[in-house]
Structures are given as structure tokens and as C-alpha cells.
């Protein structure tokens, strides 16, 4: 993997945020999973950019974006980027942490969102209180606290296959891609540094107020609680619907990019 040649930066009061901006047409914003960066979408950008303007930011503290040194929100950063570019409303697409950022932005800045696609997540406050995610985060903290970067990377990659499947059941190129991105992001940070992100709260009570199409897309090998939360999110929004892709886990866009792209393109053509 190489960094996109046309990676740009957006100056903020707390450092520069990096983003890819390519293609032309209706705007689609791709928000990557935790510990990765814009390269997470390498299999989606060409398919989408042939008919859409595609923006893929590096979330603060990830990839080539600045670390935080003061309080911030995910949705606030994404909204600031779109307003800086005088872009939107956009179709927001996110996986895992990116899915939580999408729902946060949908709830906090609805004027900037035309539609949303959420995978590997539901709402941010659900994701960070869900037992499965809490167990993962605790393992990350243990390994990083011990300075065990290789142990941390192994823990991170183990999320990819989903439930009831070992990591060696997936294409070895996928763990290699994830490790490369995660190692770059983790190297930007120090153990025990302050987390400046201001978490969202009360998301579920606000979801019924959503007035744009919401699609949830998940692999059938995701934990049952996650799939149930995705169904709940879709059911709570007007015209919301859920799609599953058979035989894949958390990073479905990496495992079955053609199927994932087909679902996205079909959704975009329906808007």
C-alpha cells in the first residue's frame, strides 16, 4: 500500500487533518475504521470515483492527521472539513469506528448528510458500551500499556475474521494491510496519553429523528449483538434497511470488495 498521491490537508486550530479528494459528481465520504487510515478504502475509491466525488479523511490521531491536544468530537472534525470544502450534503459511509462517526455526524450535523451507510457498528455510545467492543478495547489497552506493539497488532487483526473463525481463514493480504495501517497510527501515540475525544451520548433517543435514508451493511460472521444493533438502527429510521454479506466478518469491504461495492453503488443509484 502506498499513500494516495493526492492526499491533501485541512488546517484546524489543533493541527492539520489529512484527506483524499478525488472524482467528481455527487459527494460520498468514506470514514475508515479505528487505527487505520484512508487506505482502508483502496478497493472502494476507484469504483466510486468513476461517478462520484469521493472524500476519504484520516480521522484525527490516525494516518497522516494530527493528534489531538484539546477536546474534540469526531462529528465536529468531519463537519468542519465538509464546511471548509463547501461540500455537502454528502452520503456518509463508515465501517466500525467510521460507522460510529457517521451516525454521530448524522445526528449532530443533519444538514450535511444526504444518506448514511453504516457497517460494523450502530451508534457511537452503543459501540463503546457493547461488551464485545469493551473486551477488544481492554485487550488493546493491556498490550499497549505493556509496550507490546506486536501483541497489540495481533489483537487488532484478530477482530477481522468475525466470530467462530480464525485469522488464517482469511486472505493473508488483509491482516498485512491492517497491520501496516495500524502500526503507522499507533506509532504516532505514546502509552497512557490523554484521550481528548468527547464521547457522544443519548444517541438512540435521537435516532427516530433521522430523516434521510440509512443502510446498514454487515458480514454474517459479526457478533449477534452487533447485527441486532444494526437492525435496530435501520428499523428506527424512515426507509432504513439492512443488508448482510455472507461469510465475512468485521472488515467486509476488505474481504469481499466487489460485493460491498455493488451494495454501495446500488444504494447510491437509489437516492
Give the 3-state secondary structure of residue 72.
strand
Reply yes or no on whether the pLDDT at 116 is more than 60.
yes
Read off the pLDDT band of 239 (50, 70, 90).
Answer: confident
Segments making up each domain of the chain, as ranges: 7-270
What pLDDT, on a 0 to 100 scale, did the predictor assign at position 143?
Answer: 67
Q: Give tens-digit pLDDT for 209-223.
A: 999 999 999 999 998
pLDDT band at 134 (very low <50, low <70, confident <90, very high): confident
Per-residue pLDDT, 123: 85
More confident residue, 238 or 111: 111
- The separation between the first and the last C-alpha atoms of the chain, rounded to the nearest angstrom, is 32
pLDDT confidence band for 45 (50 / 70 / 90)? very high
The residue among 16, 33, 208, 201 whose CA lies nearest residue 110 is 208
Alpha-carbon span 232 to 115, nearest angstrom: 17
Q: Which fold has domain 7-270?
A: Rossmann fold (3.40.50)
Question: Hey, which of 50-59, 161-170, 191-200 has the most confident mean pLDDT?
Answer: 50-59
d(CA 256, CA 271): 24
83, containing H or E segment: helix 74-84
CB-hemisphere CA count at 13 Å for 191? 11
The candidate with the shortest Cα–Cα distance to 180, out of 18, 42, 6, 48, is: 42
Contact 23, 44 (CB under 8 A): no
The C-alpha atoms of residue 139 and residue 151 are separated, in whole angstroms, by: 9
Q: What pLDDT, on the 0 to 100 scale, is given for residue 22?
A: 95
SS3 144: helix
Output the average pLDDT for the chain: 90
**Where residue 192 falls among pLDDT bands split at 50, 70, 90?**
confident
Bigger pLDDT: 159 vs 100: 100
Laid out side by side, the sheet with 214-219 consists of 7-12, 15-23, 52-57, 26-31, 90-95, 113-119, 214-219, 241-245
Give the lowest-confidence range in 17-21, 30-34, 184-188, 210-214.
Answer: 184-188
pTM, two decimals, is 0.94
Grid coordinates representing 171 are 486472505
Task: Give counts: helices (H), strands (E), the chain.
Answer: 11, 8
Residue 101 has pLDDT above 70, yes or no: yes
Amino acid at each position: 500500500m502506498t499513500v494516495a498521491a493526492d492526499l491533501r490537508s485541512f488546517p484546524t486550530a489543533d493541527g492539520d487533518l489529512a484527506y483524499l479528494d478525488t472524482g467528481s459528481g455527487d459527494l460520498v465520504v468514506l470514514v475508515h475504521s479505528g487505527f487505520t487510515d484512508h487506505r482502508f478504502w483502496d478497493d472502494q475509491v476507484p469504483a466510486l470515483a468513476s461517478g462520484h466525488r469521493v472524500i476519504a479523511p484520516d480521522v484525527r490521531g490516525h494516518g497522516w492527521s494530527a493528534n489531538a491536544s484539546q477536546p474534540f468530537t469526531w462529528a465536529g472534525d468531519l463537519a468542519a472539513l465538509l464546511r471548509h470544502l463547501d461540500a455537502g450534503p454528502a452520503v456518509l459511509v463508515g465501517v466500525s469506528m467510521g460507522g460510529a462517526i457517521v451516525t454521530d455526524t448524522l445526528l449532530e450535523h443533519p444538514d450535511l448528510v444526504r444518506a448514511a451507510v453504516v457497517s460494523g457498528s450502530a451508534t457511537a455510545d452503543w459501540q463503546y458500551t457493547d461488551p464485545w467492543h469493551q473486551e477488544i478495547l481492554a485487550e488493546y489497552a493491556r498490550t499497549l500499556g505493556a509496550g507490546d506493539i506486536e501483541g497489540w497488532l495481533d489483537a487488532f487483526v484478530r477482530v477481522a475474521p468475525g466470530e467462530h473463525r480464525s485469522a488464517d481463514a482469511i486472505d493473508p493480504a488483509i491482516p498485512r494491510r491492517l497491520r501496516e495501517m495500524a502500526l503507522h497510527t499507533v506509532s504516532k501515540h505514546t502509552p497512557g496519553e490523554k484521550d481528548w475525544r468527547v464521547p457522544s451520548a443519548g444517541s438512540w433517543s435521537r435516532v427516530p429523528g433521522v430523516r434521510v435514508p440509512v443502510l446498514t451493511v454487515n458480514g454474517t460472521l459479526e457478533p449477534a449483538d452487533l447485527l441486532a444493533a444494526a437492525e435496530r438502527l435501520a428499523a428506527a429510521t424512515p426507509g432504513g434497511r439492512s443488508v448482510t454479506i455472507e461469510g465475512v466478518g468485521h472488515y467486509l469491504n476488505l474481504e469481499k470488495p466487489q460485493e460491498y461495492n455493488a451494495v454501495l453503488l446500488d444504494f447510491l443509484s437509489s437516492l
